[in-house]
Structure 1
Amino acid sequence: MGLSERFWHHEYWLPPGATWEDMKESAGTRYPQPQDLLLCIPGALLLIIVRCTFERTVALPLGRRLGVSDKLRPKVQPNATLESFYVLLGRTPKEEDLISLAKQSDLPVKKVETWFRHRRAQDRPRLMKKFCEASWRFTFYFTSFFSGLALLYDKSWFWDHTMCWLRFPQQPLPPALGWFYLLELSFYCSLVATLPFDVKRKDFKEQIIHHIATITLIFVSYCANLIRFGMIVMLVHDASDYILELAKMLHYMKWKWVCEAVFIVFAVVFIISRLVIFPLITYYYFVTKFQFFIVSCLINAFLMILQLLHVFWSYLIIQMIFSVILCGEKRKDARSDTEESDRSEAEDLAKNKE
């Protein structure tokens, strides 16, 4: 038996007693085929093109009209010694490094420290870039959630989750659900491809873990014909994502009170959907009501990874609500990419103008 045959052996992918013969296409009846997922590669590329077009032709003009503007940042004087250290050794030199660099550059230590602060500011993403990214994600998540809701609203298994396993795995695949699955997979593949170019936030590592887990779950659940269960899980996830992106857009627009109200709505929806509904669906309807086989164990492992990420993000959300909104502390995004405060930038600009 070759490697490919071993990988696709029915005992790994399907419950006991089921084989790939049970999922052979016949007249008028179609089942998921693993080769369908290869379309996610051109799909991801197409979404990246659509995103670039959307950000330039829609999000950018919209942001300008809504008052989003980039702050002026101090210009860095060219310095080969400092630039070499910045690129090769680190963006934030220690005190002993500052002293050494000051001697090499024949500059006061304070000026070297200021140079690095300004250099870091140059690399930070502009406010308009963050607004455009949030606008794209809001558009996709909003469309995805309500499209998914429209697709599942009239499905009996959407309301009675025990019916997700009725005659499994011999459950025909409606074309609309197949395309929705492919769109979601293409989107997350596009997110992974653009991660190096997107705004880098403090939870960058957690984002990578989340995207890998999501792509794996979509791929595996499609091949094993767990489409019904997968659709419900994706809908639960999309329920809060578009609200968060809307809150970010309002934050960049400096609509403080509206932003805080939307963020509280997001927090409520996120916690209910990710810490109540998601565990109920996955651990009650999937773990306790379903036959175990190798792929189902793999799915359980990745669902657990997602749940741990949900707990981590819920902690950050609750922390932000109490510290920023309720206690009135200085606003700072729990997933912010910002290193320096706006006040320090304003002071530097003022000094440069004097």
Structure 2
Amino acid sequence: MIRRILERNVFENLGLKLGIPARATQHQSSNPELERRYASLMLERGQKPDHKVLTQLAKEVGLEVRQVQRWLRKQGGGHRLTRMDKFCESGWRFVCYTLLWSYGFLVTVNKPWFWNTTNCFTDYSRQGVDNDIWWYYTVSAGFYWSLFLTQFFDVKRKDFWLMFTHHVVTIGLLVFSLTASFTRIGSLILVLHDTADGPLEFAKMANYAQRFKLCDLVFSVFVILWIVTRICIYPLHILRSTLFELANEIGIWPAYYLFNGLLCSLFIMHIVWTYYIVKIALKAVSTKEEIKDSRSSSEDGDEDETSKSD
């Protein structure tokens, strides 16, 4: 409910002020004549028409073949997400990631385990869950559950199943670390992962608004933050702590392997996404083109001409 209110009343109005076409104007209007002739063809042939038939159909209704193909994709795929849809989605995520990271950083920066991860497991049996950390976990879990449930309706990308796995692993880690009293190391993992997500969503918003210089600048910040937090700090400090400090302080038992297995699978996903990110960055530098997310599924209609973004 909060997301819909913000998207409709804040981000959509902001998008309009930035020159992004409204949702209603970006979808192709219905064409009764095309619908009638296409339905007649389907009855005659019993299968989708080939390119030759599409050419003839386009000539009969006075459209280009590309317009007919676009109409068919819309019929088969339902509502096609527009640039405004994606701008609003990124705006919502930007707000959530920024607020989560800000709160998480404020409540963990003064904790004894923030700079010394050994303290995450010291006096393990007597550790409780601080009230502020409990709220951080609860709100974060709610947000990731919402991402998990809405990913089937949001922008579809080539890494859909990788993202699906990521959400499952993240929720699993949240639940496991809370029930196993690993909230100290868990809070550090949450803060670390939220660091780069906010700038990424802001870069997407700038891209959808066709503010490409701003997009390139913010995307550069994102790349630096991503590599520092997820490729350097995460394995060198977090994984080192859970693999070795945890074993030294508490010992090894079956849950040790489950916990570290989930964390290592998370790092593997980081490496895969880093490949995409580096690919985008190198292409942008070499071709001087605006950033385009190589994970994105192809868009149709005016999206191809007006937005090169993800």
Specify if TM > 0.5. Answer: yes
Q: Deviations over 1:24-83 (max 9, x none)?
A: xxxxxxxxxxxxxxxxxxxxxxxxx11111112221222222322246454453426857
* In structure 1, C-alpha distance between the alignment counterparts of 2:288 and 2:301, rounded to whole Å: 17
Shift of the alpha carbon at 1:233?
A: 0.5
* In structure 1, C-alpha distance between the alignment counterparts of 2:263 and 2:115, rounded to whole Å: 21
Q: Secondary structure at the match of 2:133?
A: helix
* In structure 1, C-alpha distance between the alignment counterparts of 2:226 and 2:41, rounded to whole Å: 42
Whether contact under 8 Å (1:124, 1:338) holds in the other structure is no
Shift of the alpha carbon at 1:172?
A: 1.4
Shift of the alpha carbon at 1:113?
A: 5.5
Task: Please name the residue that 2:275 is paired with.
Answer: 315
- Structure 2 counterpart of 1:210, one-letter code: H
* In structure 2, C-alpha distance between the alignment counterparts of 1:62 and 1:343, rounded to whole Å: 19
TM-score after normalising by structure 1:
0.73
Say whether residues 1:299 and 2:259 are aligned partners: yes
* In structure 2, C-alpha distance between the alignment counterparts of 1:251 and 1:185, rounded to whole Å: 29
Say whether residues 1:57 and 2:9 are aligned partners: yes
- Give the root-mean-square deviation of aligned CA atoms: 2.9
- Structure 2 counterpart of 1:69, one-letter code: P
Task: Please name the residue that 2:70 is paired with.
Answer: 117
Task: Please name the residue that 2:97 is paired with.
Answer: 141
Whether contact under 8 Å (1:76, 1:115) holds in the other structure is no
Task: Please name the residue that 1:268 is paired with.
Answer: 224
* In structure 2, C-alpha distance between the alignment counterparts of 1:67 and 1:118, rounded to whole Å: 25
Say whether residues 1:131 and 2:113 are aligned partners: no
- Structure 2 counterpart of 1:292, one-letter code: I
Q: Structure 2 vs 1, CA of residues 294 and 82 (structure 1 numbering), >3 Å: closer, same or farther?
A: farther
TM-score after normalising by structure 2:
0.83
Whether contact under 8 Å (2:206, 2:215) holds in the other structure is yes
* In structure 2, C-alpha distance between the alignment counterparts of 1:173 and 1:228, rounded to whole Å: 8
* In structure 2, C-alpha distance between the alignment counterparts of 1:301 and 1:211, rounded to whole Å: 15
Q: Which runs of 5+ in 1 are unaligned?
A: 1-48, 87-92, 347-354
> RCO (CA 8 Å, sep 6+): is it higher in 1 or 2?
1
- Structure 1 counterpart of 2:105, one-letter code: L
* In structure 2, C-alpha distance between the alignment counterparts of 1:229 and 1:85, rounded to whole Å: 62
Q: Which runs of 5+ in 2 are unaligned?
A: 43-47
* In structure 1, C-alpha distance between the alignment counterparts of 2:269 and 2:5, rounded to whole Å: 32
Determine what percentage of the aligned residue pairs are the same residue: 31
- Structure 2 counterpart of 1:165, one-letter code: F
Q: Secondary structure at the match of 2:210?
A: coil
- Structure 2 counterpart of 1:315, one-letter code: Y
Q: Structure 2 vs 1, CA of residues 201 and 82 (structure 1 numbering), >3 Å: closer, same or farther?
A: farther
Task: Please name the residue that 1:69 is paired with.
Answer: 21
Number of residue pairs the alignment of both structures matches: 289
